[in-house]
């Protein structure tokens, strides 16, 4: 090879080798936006910030939380579905993502195909809570009171299809209640109003409810798991009190469909690293919530659970006769 051609060849192969390395090390090349589809201060926000902070250490880039609240979590889901699929935007979401297709008739994304599941995060129950001044003192008194009060009882939730909304639907089925529902952009502000006595009751994730219960800011009536929670052992299960509300909820992490495999792999590994962290697991325990075991945190296990829940909630919502409407 003539010297000139040879040096060109070496420069070209060198450049190729360099760009290969740059590509391999390319993600993430800038801060990552973590969309939280509910207001700041609620359970999705708390879990998202904990996990995101740890992921930023593994990924070497900041993970910046953006609260895109509204329409029962569908506004945030839509933001992810329409974002650039390069791994720099991810979403934490829960049951509401899977319930939305059965509840909203104008979603601008296809829930079944718009997302890449990256891994399941945590699972825990809901807790039925009331404002301090509410007269019932036990779970069975509360459910009987809810029935007799009819629409005089006000219950907050985080929008159609949110966990706190679905909990009211299950409660109404089990207790024969029909409270007036007050929608917020997340249970962060809903819980603030419960503490201030602006609404009567709220069924929220243990993550948000436990600190308020422990601070004597709200009354705890019942947990919706089959077993009591160790951290609030004196609070009975709804079933124990004769009202069969069975509800455990979980968060997962998602990227938009079409995100390159390299980015998916790095995001998923960073999530796994966060979930092994002792400090994070201790915080979860203090909120009455638990990290999924490692095998269930893989993207494949998450995808299977995600698809199963879309089908499960479509049926449950149809059976409950809840009307569909527009996401706005």
> Within 149-168, which residues bind ligand MLT (CB under 6 A)?
158, 162-164
Distance in Å, CB of 263 to ligand MLT, minimum: 26
Strand partners, 89: 33
Quick note: the x/- pattern for ligand MLT over 23-42, rule CB under 6 A, is ---------------xx--x
45 binds ligand MLT (CB under 6 A): yes
Integer Cα distance of 259 and 252 in angstroms: 17
Distance in Å, CB of 275 to ligand MLT, minimum: 19
Distance in Å, CB of 228 to ligand MLT, minimum: 21
Distance in Å, CB of 47 to ligand MLT, minimum: 8
Distance in Å, CB of 251 to ligand MLT, minimum: 8
44 binds ligand MLT (CB under 6 A): yes
> Within 238-257, which residues bind ligand MLT (CB under 6 A)?
none
For residues 44 and 225, which CB has a smaller minimum distance to ligand MLT in the complex? 44
Please report where in the chains the tokens 């800038």 appear, as a residue: 30
Measured over the CA atoms of residue 38, residue 41, residue 43 and residue 48, the dihedral's sign is positive
# binding residues, ligand MLT (CB under 6 A):
15
Quick note: the x/- pattern for ligand MLT over 48-87, rule CB under 6 A, is ----------------------------------------
For residues 115 and 184, which CB has a smaller minimum distance to ligand MLT in the complex? 184
Q: What's the distance, CA 207 to chain centroid?
A: 11
Among residues 136, 127, 130, 115, the alpha carbon closest in space to that of 225 is found at 127
Strand partners, 35: 66, 91
For residues 39 and 270, which CB has a smaller minimum distance to ligand MLT in the complex? 39
Among residues 224, 219, 243, the alpha carbon closest in space to that of 288 is found at 224
Which of 27, 33, 35, 43: binder of ligand MLT (CB under 6 A)?
43
> Within 90-119, which residues bind ligand MLT (CB under 6 A)?
94, 96
Tokens of 225: 């798991």
Distance in Å, CB of 43 to ligand MLT, minimum: 5
Q: How many CB atoms lie within 10 A of CB 15?
A: 10
List phi, psi (to 5°) of 311: -65, -45
Integer Cα distance of 154 and 202 in angstroms: 9
Integer Cα distance of 264 and 303 in angstroms: 13
Give DSSP secondary structure letters for 129-171.
EEETT-S--SHHHHHHHHHHHGGGSEEEESSTTSHHHHHHHHH
| CB-CB contact of 237 with 226 (8 Å) | yes
Distance in Å, CB of 93 to ligand MLT, minimum: 9
> Within 161-200, which residues bind ligand MLT (CB under 6 A)?
162-164, 186-188
List residues binding ligand MLT (CB under 6 A): 38-39, 42-45, 94, 96, 158, 162-164, 186-188
């Amino acid at each position: 090879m003539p010297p000139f051609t040879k040096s060109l060849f070496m420069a070209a192969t060198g450049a190729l080798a360099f760009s290969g390395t740059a590509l391999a090390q390319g993600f993430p090349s800038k801060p990552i936006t973590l969309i939280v589809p509910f207001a700041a201060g609620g359970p999705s926000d708390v879990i998202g910030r904990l996990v995101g902070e740890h992921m930023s250490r593994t990924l070497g880039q900041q993970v910046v939380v953006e609260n895109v609240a509204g329409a029962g979590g569908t506004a945030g889901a839509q933001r992810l579905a329409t974002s650039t699929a390069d791994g720099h935007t991810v979403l934490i979401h829960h049951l509401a993502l899977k319930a939305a297709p059965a509840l909203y008739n104008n979603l601008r994304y296809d829930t079944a195909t718009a997302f890449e599941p990256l891994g399941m995060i945590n699972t825990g129950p809901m807790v039925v809570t009331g404002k301090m001044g509410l007269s019932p003192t036990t779970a069975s008194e509360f459910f009987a009171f809810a029935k007799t009060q009819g629409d005089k009882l006000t219950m907050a939730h985080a929008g159609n299809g949110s966990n706190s909304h679905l909990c009211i639907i299950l409660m109404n089925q089990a207790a024969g209640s029909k409270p007036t529902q007050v929608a917020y952009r997340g249970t962060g502000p809903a819980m603030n109003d419960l503490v201030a006595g602006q609404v009567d009751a709220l069924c929220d994730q243990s993550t948000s409810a436990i600190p308020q219960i422990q601070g004597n800011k709200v009354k705890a009536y019942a947990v919706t798991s089959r077993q009591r929670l160790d951290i609030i052992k004196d609070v009975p299960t709804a079933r124990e009190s004769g009202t069969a509300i069975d509800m455990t909820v979980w968060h997962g992490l998602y990227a938009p469909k079409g995100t390159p495999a390299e980015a998916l792999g790095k995001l998923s590994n960073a999530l796994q690293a966060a979930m092994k962290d002792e400090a994070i697991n201790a915080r979860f325990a203090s909120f009455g919530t638990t990290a999924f075991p490692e095998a269930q945190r893989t993207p494949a296990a998450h995808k299977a659970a995600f698809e199963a829940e879309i089908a499960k909630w479509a049926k449950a919502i149809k059976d409950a006769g809840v009307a569909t409407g527009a996401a706005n």
